[in-house]
């Protein structure tokens, strides 16, 4: 069933709108289970989490995992969090596309001044510090309906009535995302092919680990099997590289059409993308 992504400034009324939608769904679609996922459910301290990028990435990972785990054909999942990074919203879109279920985005639109005023009126234990709310407002990447991962988009301002019917029409009556290579499960490739992919990617992560011992950030690493070079932008751990490699092997098993001679270059591109987002 569908995913509803709620995004907006801190203290912009996201949780209020989420609860309104829960009530609307329970009243009009009592046969559908509604699952709310958000910062409250994770019991996080917002000022601690959003003051540290590592903690914030960890929370986003937990939110994404909860969405992935709960997104089934029998329920509606509402993600009530800041969701202010467009790259994160794209990752959520990929989850719904894999599950072949619709989604929509609700943007609780408010001025920075209005959000700060609401924040001041919250209970002290729920309030963002001035520095944190300023930083989050500055970093907010507003949704754009022209992006497929932000569409359909419902922008709701203070005082607006929740467009429950329109939201449900988008969730229950729109076509599911069309499958593509990343959302299908074709037959596995030949055993020899998978063995070669496993061997080549293992050689590549071994090369990176060895190079990190003697090279510094910004150095270029010559990789086996390709003329493209890997740039050291950060020192990766063995567990990180193993995780990236396993994700790539899963992708290959899903039915990539890449030729064996192109695997090193393809894996390098995949690896660079993983490093950018980790």
Is the peptide bond between 113 and the residue preceding it cis, with omega within 30 degrees of 0?
Answer: no
Among 3.30.465.10, 3.40.50.1100, 3.30.300.30, 3.40.50.300, what is the CATH number of 3-182? Answer: 3.40.50.300
Asked whether the predicted pLDDT for residue 182 surpasses 60, the reply is no
Q: What is the pLDDT, as a whole number, of residue 178?
A: 55
List pLDDT tens digits, range 6-16.
Answer: 999 999 999 99
List pLDDT tens digits, range 89-123.
Answer: 999 998 898 888 899 999 999 999 999 999 999 99
First CA to last CA distance, the chain? 29
Once rounded to an integer, what is the mean pLDDT over residues 219-225? 91
Once rounded to an integer, what is the mean pLDDT over residues 70-75? 83
Question: For residues 59 and 176, what is the distance between their CA atoms, to the nearest angstrom?
Answer: 28
C-alpha distances (whole Å) from 130 to each of 48, 137, 158, 230, 249 are 13, 11, 22, 41, 45
Question: For residues 19 and 105, what is the distance between their CA atoms, to the nearest angstrom?
Answer: 15
**Residue in the structure block whose two tokens are 């390098």:** 268
List pLDDT tens digits, range 254-265.
Answer: 665 567 888 899
Here the tokens at position 154 are 């419902």
Once rounded to an integer, what is the mean pLDDT over residues 127-155? 95
Q: Can you give the residue ranges of every domain in the chain?
A: 3-182, 185-277
Angle between helices 238-253 and 191-212 (to 10 degrees): 160
Going by pLDDT thresholds of 50, 70 and 90, the confidence category of residue 188 is: very low
Q: What is the pLDDT, as a whole number, of residue 256?
A: 59
């Amino acid at each position: 069933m569908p995913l509803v992504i709620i995004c907006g400034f801190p203290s912009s009324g996201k949780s209020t709108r989420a609860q309104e939608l829960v009530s609307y769904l329970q009243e009009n679609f009592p046969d559908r289970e509604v699952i709310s996922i958000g910062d409250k459910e994770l019991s996080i301290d917002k000022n601690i989490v959003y003051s540290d990028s590592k903690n914030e990435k960890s929370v986003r990972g937990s939110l994404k995992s909860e969405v992935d785990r709960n997104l089934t054909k029998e329920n509606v999942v509402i993600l009530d969090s800041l969701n202010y990074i467009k790259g994160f919203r794209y990752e959520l879109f990929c989850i719904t596309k894999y599950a072949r279920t619709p989604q929509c985005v609700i943007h609780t639109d408010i001025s920075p001044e209005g959000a700060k005023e609401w924040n001041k009126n919250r209970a002290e234990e729920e309030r963002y510090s001035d520095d944190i709310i300023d930083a989050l407002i500055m970093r907010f990447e507003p949704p754009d309906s022209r992006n497929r991962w932000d569409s359909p988009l419902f922008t709701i301002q203070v005082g607006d009535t929740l467009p429950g019917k329109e939201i449900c029409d988008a969730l229950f009556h729109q076509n599911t995302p069309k499958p593509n290579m990343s959302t299908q499960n074709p037959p596995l490739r030949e055993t020899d092919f998978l063995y070669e992919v496993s061997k080549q990617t293992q050689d590549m992560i071994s090369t990176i680990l060895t190079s990190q011992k003697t090279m510094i950030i910004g150095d270029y690493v010559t990789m086996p099997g390709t003329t493209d070079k890997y740039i050291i932008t950060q020192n990766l751990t063995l567990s990180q590289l193993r995780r990236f490699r396993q994700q790539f092997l899963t992708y290959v098993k899903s039915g990539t059409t890449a030729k064996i001679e192109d695997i090193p270059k393809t894996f390098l591109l995949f690896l660079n993308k993983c490093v950018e987002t980790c």
